[in-house]
Amino acid sequence: MLFLPLLSICQTKPYEIFGKIEGEYLGKVHLIFDKITATNDSLVAEIKDGKFYFKGTVPYMPILAIFRLSHSPFVRVYIDGPQTHIDFSNKVNVQGNYSSQLFKAVKVTSSHTNSLLFDFEKKRQEIGRFHLDDAEKKEALTKQLSQFIKQHPKNKLSAYLLSQADYLSHKQGKASSALLDASLHQTTEWGNVKRLLDDLYKPQFLNTLFYDVVLQDQNFKDVDTRMLQGKLTLVVFWASWCRPCRAEHPDFNRLYKSYKANGLQIVGISLD
């Protein structure tokens, strides 16, 4: 029994975080380790001459460290070694009686996991600069995420990035989660992936009244959606330029054939 505490101590990972902040700030920076440090019990370091320092132990690495200044947004950084250097910048924007802070990590050294995160976000920003419609952008982001997970199936970062991908369909989310190695199933990141999948599966606007409209069909006749009240109806919004929309048409045809005897009607509303 005397060996158990010693074993527990040996399993912890020591860390040192050296930080520098440029811009406007008050005197302290707060640190929370995801799911380990309570939000209302964050670690605090004084900022002196724009510099701060944290030292301690964590139960495992890599681990997600969450930083914030007073009233600033959270900044997430992965720590995966004994020493990590982080350069932050903070800018305060004031418009009338409203102020906001742009607090971000500019440079993180000695963290391979965070270097992967920076590279991933850089490529994602490049996708955002392309002249793509929303459907094409989602397709590009989905492909980028899938490729990353295939390259790093055992890395916690893969699970973290998937947990943030609320642009996925439930089917895409399930397919991406299947690419993750089973060794991640005990991590906080995997728990966040499961929550995302639950959210993607839940029907949105359940028990909410449909906003009725009057639109013209292909023969220029008015169609009032109030005529569909009390009937089993699937309303599909689509556009001719939307490739994923067009790809779903065969599925809707099969769905209609399967349930038309039960009174199913499908109404397509084009956004062209």
pLDDT digits (tens, 9 = 90+) for 122-153: 999 999 888 888 888 999 999 999 999 999 99
Structure tokens at 49: 């001459």
- Give 189: exposed, middle or buried? Use CB within 10 Å, 0-12, 13-18, 19+: buried
DSSP-derived 3-state class of residue 244: helix
Contacts of 155 (CB under 8 A, 6+ apart): 113, 116
159-163, 167-171, 224-228: segment of lowest average pLDDT:
224-228
pTM over 0.75: no
Beta-sheet strands, E only, within 24-151: 28-33, 43-46, 51-58, 63-68, 75-79, 83-95, 98-109
Q: How far is CA 242 from CA 136, 245, 252, in A?
A: 8, 5, 15
7 has a pLDDT exceeding 70? no
23-27, 191-195, 212-216, 253-257: segment of lowest average pLDDT:
212-216
Per the model's pLDDT, the better-predicted residue between 241 and 168 turns out to be 168
- Share of residues in the chain with pLDDT > 70 (%): 90
250 has a pLDDT exceeding 60? yes
Cα of first residue to Cα of last residue in the chain, in angstroms, is 72
